[in-house]
Amino acid sequence: MKKILYTLLFVLLAMAARAQEFSEFQDTSLNSITLGKGKNQIQIGGRVSGYYEYRALKPGFTNLDHNGFAMKDGDIDLLGHTKQQFVYEFHLSVLDLATAAATQNTDNPANPGIKAAYLEYMGWPVHIKFGYDKLPFSQGSLNEVWGTPMWSHANLYGGDLFSRRDMGITLNSSFWKNRINLYAGAYSGMGENFFEYGNDQSGTFEYVGRAEFCYPAVLKYQPIDEDHNTIPQIRLAVDARYEDKTQPAGQTIASNYPDALGAYGTRMINGKRLIYGGDFIIKYQGFSALFEADIMRLQPTSATDDLYQGTPASFNGGYINSGGFVTGLNYDWQKIRSVFSIQYENFNTNDLQKGAQSWLYLGYAYKVKGFKSVFKVEYFIPTTEDVAANPLKYTSELRVGYQIVF
């Protein structure tokens, strides 16, 4: 791990030194540093944030280790483009790298410390990206949570049910003045665990596709309407992802890649997995409303797979359904520099197991300098607890903290 950290540090210094040959720093308050001029530029930015967390525990639970201070972000992000129409990004979480080094990568292997490392060619009508980045799936996953009053993504698309990032190739093309955007790609299927395991023994990819319609113009993945659009701005999208990770005879996901299973055993399965969904957002005069639904159809190869919950094939039909929806409403009140958010989600991790879970989130942000310098408060409660799949020790949680983006 030390060798990896030293290598990453060397790469960062080498890139900065090369850029300094043709530029001077252009530093403005709370903005990223730009190196270079014209079509050859590198932007260096990052994010630092932390909060105080308080959990209201149920009777009988006395472990208060969640009640205290926590670091949320400690990131460095390099984004560059060249006159040859290449774009590249190298986004590191120093905090996650340090945690991985201290725990031998056993504490949270789904957060390896690298959030993006890719090269993209923009010179053709179809853009080609190769490397590690967010998958073109799920509006909620693609949204930057730092640009909201919330401290984390909703459970549905936060990484427990399916991966948010992976290594692979992405094709992207736009039509009608970027109002129609199409994405397609092939990826390792290991998600964030790619850095832990590499490729799996099946030798197959996960395929992902997404189609968006925006009007009257393309929308960034920022759910808050800070521009206070005088004309309603909308984005409607559908997406899907498919993989067949059936392992060779005698091999299993659980034995070879236990961390890749995830909290509910659905992030990767020994068999076929189809996920499909749709999402919608509208922004108008400071208000924004969003909705997303994602459904998984899981088909484990073994009839005795744990996902079948011990039910016979005559009952389960050879597959399991999982998924749910998230909806939310936000308002940016410019006069008092405040953003108010409310969000509700409901999902079922396994339809063969009795129980579902739902959550209510309330968020508030006071913007000292937009979301680049902001005080945030998030309060959420499990309105319905899934005792079988996700038993909880608490009845509510409060997070209060500050965020700096540079």
Two structure tokens written together for 282: 């509208």
**Using CA atoms, how far apart are residues 92 and 115, in angstroms rounded to an integer?**
6
Secondary structure (3-state) at 61: coil
Q: What CATH number should be reported for the domain holding residue 359?
A: 2.40.160.10
Range(s) of the domain holding residue 33: 2-405
- Residues in the chain predicted with pLDDT less than 70, given as ranges, are 1-32, 105, 107
**According to the model, what pLDDT value does residue 31 have?**
60
How far is Cα 86 from Cα 40, in angstroms, rounded to an integer?
10
Counted domains in the chain: 1
* Token pair 């948010």: residue: 164
Indicate the SS3 state at residue 364.
strand
Residues 6+ apart with CB under 8 A from 379: 361, 362, 363, 396, 397, 398, 399
Q: Token digits for 98?
A: 């340090």
**358/68 Cα distance (integer angstroms):** 25
Please report the pLDDT score of residue 29 as a whole number: 40
E strand spans, 225-368: 233-244, 271-284, 287-300, 320-333, 338-348, 357-367
CA distance 296 to 240: 10
Residue partners of 13: CB distance under 8 A and separation at least 6: none
DSSP 214-226: EESS---S--S-T
Peptide bond into 223 cis (omega under 30): no
- Residue 30 is predicted with a pLDDT of 47
CB 191 within 8 A of CB 260: yes
Question: From residue 300, how far is each of 206, 246, 315 by CA, in Å?
Answer: 16, 8, 15
Cα angle vertex 323, ends 240, 113, to 5°?
A: 75
Residue 291 and residue 324: Cα distance in Å, rounded? 11
pLDDT for 36 equals 73
- pLDDT of the residue at 34: 80
Confidence (pLDDT) at 98: 87
What's the confidence (pLDDT) of residue 16? 37
